[in-house]
Amino acid sequence: MGKILVFCEHLNGKIKRSAQELLTAGKKSGNTVVAVAVGAQSPSLAAEVGKYGAQEFHVFKDPSFDQYNPELFTQMAADIIQKSGAQIVLASSSSIGKDLFPRVAARLQSGILSDCTQLTIQGDSVLATRPVYSAKCFAKMAFTDSPVQFVLMRANQLPIEESGGTAPSAQEHTVTPSTPLRTLIKEVVKGASEKLDLTEANIIVSGGRGLKEAGNFKLLQELADVLGATVGASRAVVDAGWVPHGMQVGQTGKTVAPTLYIAIGISGAIQHLAGMSGSKVIVAINNDPNAPIFQKATYGIVGDLFEVVPKLTEEFKKALHH
Amino acid sequence: MKIFVCVKQVPDTETKVKIAADNKSVDTAAVKWVMNPYDEFAVEEGIKLRDANAGSQLWVVTVGPKKRAVEVVRTALAMGADEAIVVDSPELLEPLQTAKALANVIQQEGGAQMIFSGKMAIDDNAGSVSQMLAEFLNIPHTTVVSKFSASGEAVIVERDIEGGAKEIVQMQMPAVVAANKGLNMPRYASLPGIMKAKKKTIKEIDWAAAKVDLAAKTAIQSMELPPEKPAVKMIAGDAAKQAADLVHALRDEAKAL
C-alpha cells in the first residue's frame, strides 16, 4: 500500500472538519495516512490527527508558518511530499488550498483536481467528481500517469469517523527558501463576521432583492443567529451595494453546498442556482409562486417574507432551545 | 513596462449545459461564447496599469481553439489592449498544459513585468492556471485579488480570504495577479475601439510552437447532469402555520437541523 498525505488546516488548537474528513477518507482507502500541519500550534495536534487515522505526523512549527505565504508554503509542501514519498495528496479546497496546491502540482509536474465533491480511493487509484460549468454538470475524473495525484475537496462532502488510533509522534521540519521570498504578507484585515465562511458553513441563510433594502438584512441576521448559520446574498443585492461581494453566492460569487440553504426573497437566476444547487436541503421563501428558485427547492413557502421570516426565527428558537 | 493579460473564452453564464454524445464533454453547438467574467477585471486592471506608466504595452494572450478563441482577444483589443496572441490549442487542455503554453509564449515574447488573469474560468472551475504560470516563470503570485496598486518594482494587493477577511500582500515585480470580482469596473468596448480591434493583426502561434512538453495528467471518465431533485413540497397556510410546519419538516422529515 502507498501513502496518502493529508494537509490539515487547523483553528484554535483543533483540526478543521475538512481535515477530519480527508484523514477519514485516507484511512478508509487502506493506505498509510501521513498528516501534515504547520504553525506554532501544530505539534499539539498529534492526538487529533491520530484519532482520525493518521499514522505519521509531520509538522513545521516555525512561527513563519502561522501566516500563509504562497512561496514559503510551496517549498514546504513540495519538500514534505517528496520526503514522505506520498503518491496521493489530499487538501481542502479552501483559500489556502486553492491558492497553494496548483503551484505545488506544477512544481512536481503533476495533475490536480480542485473543488471536488466526491472522492473514491482504492489502492493508488483515485476517482473524484468535480462540478464544472458552475455545477450545471459534474465531471468524474481520474489521473493518468501523474507522479503525484492532488485532490482538493470541498468541505462538508465526506463522512468523518474516528478510527481510535493513537497519537503519532510529531516529526519536526524546517524550510530554508532557496531564493529570498519575493512575497510579503503585510497585514491581515479581519472580516466583519466571526462566523464560518460561506464555503464551510453547514447552514446558510441567503437574501435577495425581495428584502427591498439593505437594512432589512437584519431579519436574516436574526434568523442566522438562532440557527448558527452564515448569511449569504444574491448577485443583485451585491451589485446594488447592500452587502459586500464576499457574501455573494453564485457563479461569480461563492459555490456552496451546506446541509441547509434557506433562500429568502431570491427569485433564482440561473447564475445563483449554479452556486447553491449542491445544497442538501433547500428552502425557498418568495412572494412569487412562479419564481425559478422553487424548482430547485426541497420546501417552498409562497408568502410575504416580512411576515414569514420573523415567525420562522421564533419557531426555530422554540425547536432548538427547548 | 510590458504587461500581459491572460484571458479565456467560456460559455455565457446563461448557457444551459448539454452533455455531448461521448458522455465526456459538453455539447458546444448552441453555446454563445464570451470572455470569462473574471478575465474582464484582469483586462481592465492591465489597461489602468499601462495608462499609468508612459511607454507601457499591454499584451493579451489566450490559449484555445483558434476559430473561436480569436474572438476573446478581439474583445480585449476593443477594450484597449495593444497587441494580441492566440495560441491555437486542442480542446480540453488541463490547467497544467495551458499554464505551460502561456509561460512559454510569454518568455518567447521577451517576458513580462506584470501578468494579470481572472481568478478562475467559470467553465472548468479549476482556478489553477495563474499559480501554475507563476511557478513555471518562477515569479510570485497572488490570487483572488480585489485591490491592486504598483509603485516602482513593488506591487501591493488585497487578497480576499475566508470570512470576509483580507490579506494585504506585497510582491516584487514581475508577478502574477489573479483578479476577483470587485477589483474594478471593467469598461465596455467603445465603437471606435471595436473598429480599431477589427483591423489589428492578431499573432497566431501553433500548438507545436508553444512547446508544451507535458502530457495530460488527468482524464474525464464521464460527465453527469446533477441528480434530479424530487418535486418541491409547498407549505401552505398563514405565516405562523407555514413557519411551524417548515421547522417541523426540517427537523423530523429532512433531518437538516
Place of cell 518562477: B138
**What does the pLDDT average to over A113-120?**
95
**What does the pLDDT average to over A130-158?**
92
Q: Which residues of B touch A248 (CB under 8 A)?
A: 181
pLDDT tier at A194 (50, 70, 90 boundaries)?
low
- Which of B136, B216, B244 is closest, CB to CB, to A144? B216
Alpha carbon of B224: minimum distance to chain A alpha carbons (Å)? 5
Q: What is the 3-state secondary structure (H, E, C) of B133-194?
A: HHHHHCCCEEEEEEEEEEECCEEEEEEECHHHCEEEEEEECCEEEEECCCCCCCCCCCHHHH
pTM (2 d.p.):
0.90
Task: Tell me whether the omega of the peptide bond preceding residue B174 falls within 30 degrees of 0, making it cis.
Answer: yes
b/e A20-59 (16+ beta carbons within 10 angstroms → b): bbbbbbbbbbebbbbbbbbbebbbebbebbbbbbbbbbbb
Cα–Cα dist A183/A167, whole Å: 35
Angle between helices A305-321 and A217-227 (to 10 degrees): 20
If one counts every other C-beta atom within 10 angstroms of the C-beta of residue A307, the result is 14
Please say if the pLDDT value at position A222 is more than 90. yes
% of chain A surpassing 90 pLDDT: 82
Alpha carbon of A322: minimum distance to chain B alpha carbons (Å)? 14
SS3 state at A150: strand
What pLDDT, on the 0 to 100 scale, is given for residue B171? Answer: 98
- Tens-digit pLDDT profile for residues B198-243: 999 999 999 999 999 999 999 999 999 887 778 999 999 999 999 9
Cα–Cα dist A3/A239, whole Å: 46
Say whether B13 and A71 touch across the interface (CB within 8 A). no
Q: A190-199, B3-12, B189-198: which range is least confident on average?
A: A190-199
Which amino acid makes up residue B224?
Answer: E
- Tens-digit pLDDT profile for residues B102-118: 999 999 999 999 999 99
% of chain A surpassing 70 pLDDT: 99
Q: Which residues of B touch A78 (CB under 8 A)?
A: none
What pLDDT, on the 0 to 100 scale, is given for residue A239? Answer: 93
% of chain B surpassing 70 pLDDT: 100
Judged by phi (left if over 0) then psi (alpha if -120 to 50, else beta), residue A275 lies in alpha
pLDDT tier at A56 (50, 70, 90 boundaries)?
very high
Question: Residue B125's closest chain A neighbor by CA?
Answer: A132
Say whether A187 and B216 touch across the interface (CB within 8 A). no
Q: Mutating which of A67, A107, A149, A301 best tests the B interface, going by the most B Cβ atoms within 10 A?
A: A301
pLDDT tier at A225 (50, 70, 90 boundaries)?
very high
**What does the pLDDT average to over A286-293?**
96
Question: Residue B123's closest chain A neighbor by CA?
Answer: A133
Please say if the pLDDT value at position A75 is more than 80. yes
Cα–Cα dist B118/B111, whole Å: 19
- The DSSP code for A214 is G
Q: A26-35, A135-144, A212-221, B48-57: which range is least confident on average?
A: A135-144
What pLDDT, on the 0 to 100 scale, is given for residue A193? Answer: 62
If one counts every other C-beta atom within 10 angstroms of the C-beta of residue B2, the result is 19
Cα–Cα dist A32/A34, whole Å: 6
What pLDDT, on the 0 to 100 scale, is given for residue A190? Answer: 85
Cα–Cα dist A243/A216, whole Å: 11
Judging by beta carbons within 10 Å of its beta carbon (0-12, 13-18, 19+), is residue B231 exposed, middle or buried? exposed
What is the number of CB-based contacts under 8 A between chain A and chain B?
271
Q: What is the average pLDDT value for chain B, to the nearest integer?
A: 95
Q: Which residues of B touch A77 (CB under 8 A)?
A: none
What pLDDT, on the 0 to 100 scale, is given for residue A199? Answer: 87
| DSSP line for B88-124 | E--SS--HHHHHHHHHHHHHHTT--SEEEEES--TTT
**What does the pLDDT average to over B137-163?**
95
What pLDDT, on the 0 to 100 scale, is given for residue A265? Answer: 97
Closest CA to B204 of B110, B107, B105, B130: B105
What pLDDT, on the 0 to 100 scale, is given for residue A192? Answer: 66
CA A76 to chain centre: 22
Closest CA to B246 of A308, A128, A141, A220: A308
Say whether A142 and B216 touch across the interface (CB within 8 A). no
Put simply, whether A189 touches B (Cβ < 8 Å) is yes
Say whether A295 and B232 touch across the interface (CB within 8 A). yes
Tallying the residues shown for chain A, one arrives at 322
Residue B164 corresponds to which cell in the numbers above? Answer: 470576509
